[in-house]
């Protein structure tokens, strides 16, 4: 994905039925169409098992949802960065609130994405952890207050100070890190509010995935920018 300062949307598929298996492939085609029609950068983060068929069927950037801080060997059931890389992903979410890592593991995984030339999207839960995570120099930090995730209450409108202060604290440490915000984002107003607060884009899920018409919801999301 382009790392310039144009608005960015990353859709996290999580493990919703509507974004799993064949539904995940169909949704990815809608995201591709919405991105092509609007000219806005849109990337997706499907489950690991769905990565390969999706990467075969769309051109938009596809990210993993998680990587473990492991090396090849005896780690049954784990997500090996090198294996994810081989599917053709362009980056990965790291430390999502629903899949947290220790500080030491975050360090290892961000470093691994750098070695593999993958985009790192490091997720954080508040202003303090965002500032701490800035020292790892990821490409993106995505601030998502866990109490708003999945509620439909948009962080950019309900807690604007969290987004604003996160941008400020991160940029005191490293101006090159782009900040995304997420939790409860679903409409064009939510997206516009995020950009007005200094975020470069949004990381979101249920507002699009659970919408009756997923493609229309994506087009509405970028209608005010
Ligand atoms: O966790 C999120 C994206 O990573 C946010 O989820 P919702 O958009 O469903 O609130």
Residue 165: CATH number of its domain: 3.20.20.70
| Ligand 1 pocket mutation, candidates 13, 144, 156, criterion most atoms within 8 A of CB | 144
For residues 53 and 21, give the distance between their C-alpha atoms in angstroms, rounded to a whole number.
9
Flag whether 81 is in a domain.
Answer: yes
Pocket of ligand 1 (CB under 6 A): 12, 96, 144, 149-150, 182-185, 203-207
Atom of ligand 1 nearest to the CA of 149: 10
Flag whether 3 is in a domain.
Answer: no
| Ligand 1 pocket mutation, candidates 18, 146, 154, 205, criterion most atoms within 8 A of CB | 205
CA-to-CA separations, 58 to 28, 35, 53, 122, 203, in angstroms, rounded: 7, 11, 9, 24, 19
Flag whether 128 is in a domain.
Answer: yes
Token code pair at residue 133: 């995570």
Return per-residue pLDDT of the chain as tens, 225 residues. Answer: 444 568 999 999 999 999 999 999 999 999 999 999 999 999 999 999 999 999 999 999 999 999 999 999 999 999 999 999 999 999 999 999 999 999 999 999 999 999 999 999 999 999 999 999 999 999 999 999 999 999 999 999 999 999 999 999 999 999 999 999 999 999 999 999 999 999 999 999 999 999 999 999 999 999 999
**How far apart are the CA of 47 and the centre of ligand 1, in A?**
14
The ipTM of this complex is: 0.99
Q: Is 75 a known active-site residue?
A: no
133: domain range? 8-221
Flag whether 77 is in a domain.
Answer: yes
Flag whether 163 is in a domain.
Answer: yes
Extract the runs of DSSP E, i.e. beta strands, from the chain. 8-12, 41-45, 63-64, 91-94, 119-124, 140-143, 178-182, 201-204
Flag whether 190 is in a domain.
Answer: yes
CA-to-CA separations, 66 to 142, 158, 176, in angstroms, rounded: 14, 27, 23
Q: Is 96 a known active-site residue?
A: yes
- Residue whose structure tokens are 């890592």: 101
Domain count, the chain: 1
For the whole prediction, is pTM greater than 0.90? yes
For residues 32 and 44, give the distance between their C-alpha atoms in angstroms, rounded to a whole number.
10
Flag whether 144 is in a domain.
Answer: yes
**How far apart are the CA of 81 and the centre of ligand 1, in A?**
23
Flag whether 2 is in a domain.
Answer: no
Please give the span between the terminal C-alpha atoms of the chain, in angstroms, as a whole number: 19
């Amino acid at each position: 994905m382009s790392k310039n300062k144009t608005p960015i949307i990353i859709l996290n598929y999580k493990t919703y039925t509507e974004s799993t298996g064949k539904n995940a492939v169909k949704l990815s085609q809608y995201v591709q169409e919405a991105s092509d029609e609007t000219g806005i950068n849109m990337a997706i983060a499907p489950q690991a098992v769905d990565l390969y068929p999706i990467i075969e069927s769309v051109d938009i950037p596809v990210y993993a949802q998680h990587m473990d801080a492991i090396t090849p060997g005896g780690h049954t059931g784990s997500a090996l960065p090198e294996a994810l890389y081989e599917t053709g992903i362009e980056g990965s979410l790291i430390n999502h609130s629903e899949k947290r890592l220790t500080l030491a593991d975050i360090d290892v995984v961000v470093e691994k994405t750098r070695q593999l030339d993958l985009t790192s999207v490091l997720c954080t839960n508040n202003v303090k952890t965002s500032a701490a995570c800035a020292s790892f120099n990821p490409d993106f930090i995505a601030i998502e207050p866990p109490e708003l995730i999945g509620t439909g209450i948009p962080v950019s409108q309900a807690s604007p100070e969290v987004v604003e202060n996160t941008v400020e604290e991160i940029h005191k440490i490293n101006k090159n890190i782009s900040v995304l915000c997420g939790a409860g984002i679903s409409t064009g107003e939510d997206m516009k509010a995020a950009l007005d607060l200094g975020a470069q884009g949004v990381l979101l899920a249920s507002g699009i995935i659970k919408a009756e018409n997923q493609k229309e919801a994506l087009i509405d999301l970028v209608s005010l920018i």
